[in-house]
Amino acid sequence: MAILHTCLNVTDAERAVEWYETNLGFEESWGFESGDTTNLYVADEDGVELQLSETEGVEPDTAGDLWDHLAVGVEDVDAAFAEVDHHGVVQEPSDQPAAGARTAFVKDPDGHVVELIEPLED
């Protein structure tokens, strides 16, 4: 397993991308939209990404709203989901064609959300 990205909820994804590029040297890497949510990604020089997630009409303003999830790459989402000692299911395994991945979301013992990601076959 490897950490792929951390998702931050933001009020303006494009403004956030510009800030990470200007102030920390990140580069915009890709993005996708899902319903009312725009997801833009920036990567550091080692390829570690931040997902900057803006949902129309939502203004995150507290610590619990600002941080969303930690994404971990796995070889098989369904197997990892079945084996991991999770403390709550947020989303069972499902394909996310817009993101090119099969994902599942679980909670750790302290309630942090962890996304399990497996690339979809082309």
Residue 66: domain span:
2-119
Side-chain half-sphere exposure of 37, counting CA atoms within 13 A: 11
Kindly report, residue by residue over 36-72, the tens digit of the pLDDT: 999 999 998 889 899 999 999 998 887 778 888 999 9
Lowest mean pLDDT among 77-81, 87-91, 99-103: 87-91
Residue 3 pLDDT exceeds 90: no
Asked if residue 53 lies in contact with residue 66, where contact means CB atoms within 8 angstroms, the answer is no
Asked whether the predicted pLDDT for residue 1 surpasses 80, the reply is no
Number of domains composing the chain: 1
Whole-number average pLDDT of the chain = 91
The residue with tokens 């991308």 is: 17
Q: What is the CATH number of the domain that holds 25?
A: 3.10.180.10
pLDDT higher than threshold 90 for residue 122: no
